[in-house]
Amino acid sequence: MEKHNAHGEGNGLRYGLSSMQGWRVEMEDAHTAVIGLPNGLDPWSFFAVYDGHAGSQVARYCCEHLLEHITSNPDFQGGGGGGGPAVEPSVDSVKSGIRTGFLQIDDHMRQISEKKHGGADRSGSTAVGVMVSPRHIYFINCGDSRGLLSRGGAVHFFTQDHKPSNPLEKERIQNAGGSVMIQRVNGSLAVSRALGDFDYKCVHGKGPTEQLVSPEPEVYAIERSEVEDEFIVLACDGIWDVMANEELCDFVRSRLEVTDDLERVCNEIVDTCLYKGSRDNMSVVLVCFVSAPKVSPEAVKREAELDKYLEGRVEEILKRQGDEGQMPDLVHVMRTLASESIPNLPPGGELASKTQHQNPAQEPSTTTGPAQEPYHSPAQLLWTVPRKEEAEEAEGNEGSLLLFT
């Protein structure tokens, strides 16, 4: 499937990103990656992922204008300017400025929508981001996209999803006259904080952060560790729906040991999530610090040996099918491989991350041109490899066959 990629470096950071529409009819995600911020903050960087819903308008507007709303407001600028660590704004002023920026852009978008359309736009968007200063990492979250920091070989921090079932979120929703049904706001919206979604922000007598859906972000300040900080991952729920924090962290670490191409790592993440069964838009931004894992000749050798082994096994399985008079069947190939003990599969990704080596008829994903059909064209059959523990519980059912027409 077609992807959008970008990469860059500066301020001691390297980043790569990948976004893919997946099985959705429309691409509603957006992203921001800026190294060197305005208003005298050259040593600072900002990265964010926006997961739109009910349209892409809010996500697109935020990716273009949210940073400006944050860095230009007086709350953020308190103590800033000059462009050096010695004059870094205080943690409190940065956190206050980020919060103010979110509230400002939300109100600004409402005003624009009412002027243009005579009523509020119905789309909304989550937002997860990081602002990296010389001394701190500021994680910013509004909704159920997620960011994490890998430090010292483990998940050191991750943001908390804003779901209506969360007790504090549920209390605010009920105080605004709403309800939580089937884990959704008024039985409809699956997130309790978001930008946009103005249909849920019209309770009279309540402030912007007291509405059914709040635009207020949670902001976390973490002191940087030059020796231990490895990488940051920002991703929408299309990624997190099928990969746990530790799984994704382990997978990224294993990929960084075989390539220093961050776009390739991000592409492997979205491809793996697609084959794990994600049916949503998928966007991921990977930001690497100087202490991120480096390419290892031993890991590269193991990877090449694994790829060669998988390709050989696929040929053997298909040949056996042909000898028995059967048509080549990718589902049978993957069922067979899933039942085997295969060493050195990428942690977190496992067999799903090696699907391209199990399907010789499928062309690799591309960043240009039309989306590629999976092997079972035109029916678009996608085989999903489950986690090992799920397979054991399924009593021999190694996976599930998803049909998208």
Please tell me whether residues 196 and 105 are part of one structural domain: yes
Split into its structural domains, the chain has a count of 2
In this structure, the answer to whether residues 251 and 132 fall within a common structural domain is yes
C-alpha span between 273 and 30 (Å, rounded):
18
Structural domain boundaries, residue 142: 3-288
Is 308 found in the same domain as 250? no
Q: What is the pLDDT of residue 356?
A: 66
213 Cβ contact partners less than 8 Å away, ≥ 6 residues apart: 124, 185, 189, 191, 192, 193, 194, 197, 200, 201
265: β partners: none
Q: Which of 2-11, 112-121, 139-148, 259-268 has the lowest mean pLDDT?
A: 112-121
Write down the pLDDT at residue 9: 98
Amino acid 119: pLDDT = 67
CA distance linking residue 140 with residue 368, whole number of Å:
32
- Check whether 83 has a pLDDT greater than 70: no
Instruction: Tell me, yes or no, whether 137 and 256 share the same domain.
Output: yes
Q: Residue 101: which of 66, 62, 64, 142 has the closest Cα? A: 66
Lowest mean pLDDT among 38-47, 142-151, 354-363: 354-363
Helix (H) or strand (E) holding 209: none
Q: What is the pLDDT of residue 366?
A: 53
- Tens of pLDDT, residue by residue over 268-312, are 999 999 999 999 999 999 999 999 999 999 999 999 999 999 999
pLDDT confidence tier of residue 121, bands split at 50, 70 and 90: confident
**Mean local confidence (pLDDT), 192-221:** 97
User: What's the CATH number where 88 sits?
Assistant: 3.60.40.10
Q: Are residues 16 and 118 in the same domain?
A: yes
User: How far out from the chain centre does Cα 187 lie?
Assistant: 25
The pLDDT value recorded for residue 252 is: 98
Task: Out of 93-97, 111-115, 150-154, pick the least confident.
Answer: 111-115
Same domain, 277 and 328: no
Backbone angles phi, psi at 34, to 5 degrees: -135, 120
Q: Which one, of 48, 38, 43, 39, lies nearest residue 15 by Cα?
A: 48
Positive or negative: CA dihedral 366, 149, 39, 58: positive
On the question of pLDDT at 404 being above 50, the answer is: no
* Least confident among 35-44, 90-99, 197-206, 364-373: 364-373
pTM value is 0.86
- Domain with residue 356: its CATH number is 1.10.10.430
Is residue 190 over pLDDT 50? yes
Token digits of residue 323: 């000898």
Q: Are residues 320 and 367 in the same domain?
A: yes
Residue 77, both tokens: 């600028």
